[in-house]
A and B are shown apart, each in its own frame.
Chain A
Amino acid sequence: MVELVDEELVRRVQGGDKKSFDLLVIKYQHKIVQLVNRYIRDPFEAQDVAQETFIKAYRALPSFRGESAFYTWIYRIAINTAKNHIASRARRPSDDDIDVESAEQFESATGLKDTETPEGVVLTEELAKIIQSALDDLPDELREAITLREFDGLSYDEIAEAMNCPVGTVRSRIFRAREAIDRKIKS
């Protein structure tokens, strides 16, 4: 089913539906940033490289034939983009030596754009705290259900078996857990 959702989204984007690409980005942005972070320690640079990865993926989508899963494909793009970024950083002179002519080019390639302010990361740290605290406040059965799903990656059927309850109850508990945490995020 994971592949089915991705296949459908890819098919839509390849058919000219740009907005469906947002859903793919939402789905994989955290994974890609985390992957890039293994190569690039600086969180701001990592966000930048992740963004570049998604743009490269969009441009390369016409050549994506679905022979591998979308995530496997974008995973390779992310690694190549991160490695290229490291290589270009190594070739670049130190920041102090940049002349006026190359400044514009430098701005477009590195972490000096307006969007790369620390707010994003601060927000994320704050968000992580809120989510963690909301998770702790959940009733046991809701916390257990969402943890089995998100942390252990169990399917609804497996969770139903583990928690000894119907699948419908699992579905409802996971949804209620998400809603409770989401309310805390929004408030």
Chain B
Amino acid sequence: MNEKLSRLQDSEVEEAELAPLLDACRDGAELKSTWARYHAIGHVIRNGAAGRSDPDLWRRVSLAIEKEPVLLVPRAKPRAPWREHAFNFALAASLAAVGLIVGRSLLANSEQVLSSSPQTLAANPAASGKLDHSRGMASAQARFDDYLLVHNESAQLAGSGGLLPYARLASMRNR
């Protein structure tokens, strides 16, 4: 066990050895004293007689700590990476769904407004009706495109869509 203690002092123990070694060291008075002497040896080798300090200081601190309350610090659990991905995906899907619903309703509203406009009907009910309708459709389509552009820009900022929003944006701007 002392050989392991010697390696522990030099931070040359395997990770698997660490916990049982620290347990033994904490619970065994003799092992603890040996570790303290090993440290004193190292200190004197590094500093010579000049580096004098009471090797039993730890005993005094230990007595003082006995009067202190026991610490119980809750440990924060690290968030699983798959949860992070699932959250991002859900956020992106929600944004896309909201975009689609709002966009469609905008389009439907403008179609409805155009079809029931009295000015359009009064000016040229037969001939110009078709032309105005197609103009209105074009304007609604332009507004919808604008909306999609804005949506795609904000979707990029959310960082959830990867390269896809860039591709869509580029193709839409080219149109």
Binding site for B on A (CB under 8 A): 1-2, 4-5, 8-9, 11-23, 25-27, 29-30, 33-34, 43, 46-47, 50-51, 54-55, 58-59, 61-62, 115, 120-121, 123-125, 127-129, 131-132, 135, 146-147, 149-151, 155-156, 171-172, 174-175, 178-179, 181-182, 185-186
Contacts and interface: CB of A to CB of B under 8 A. Distances in A.
11 contacts: A4-B15, A17-B26, A29-B54, A30-B51, A51-B60, A120-B57, A150-B42, A175-B2, A175-B3, A178-B41, A182-B37
A185 B64 contact: no
Interface string B31-43: 0101111111111
Contacts of B27: 19
Interface in B1-28: 2-3, 6-8, 10-13, 15, 18-19, 22, 25-27
Interface in B41-62: 41-49, 51-58, 60-62
Nearest to B14: A1
Interface of B is mostly: helix
A174 B10 contact: yes
Interface string B70-111: 111101000000000000000000000000000000000000
A22 B54 contact: no
- Closest A-B pairs by Cβ, 8 of them: A120-B54, A33-B53, A1-B11, A14-B73, A30-B43, A25-B58, A150-B45, A131-B44
B44 A182 contact: no
A80 B10 CA distance: 29
Given A58-B65, A150-B46, A22 B32 contact: yes
B48 A132 contact: yes
Nearest to B34: A182
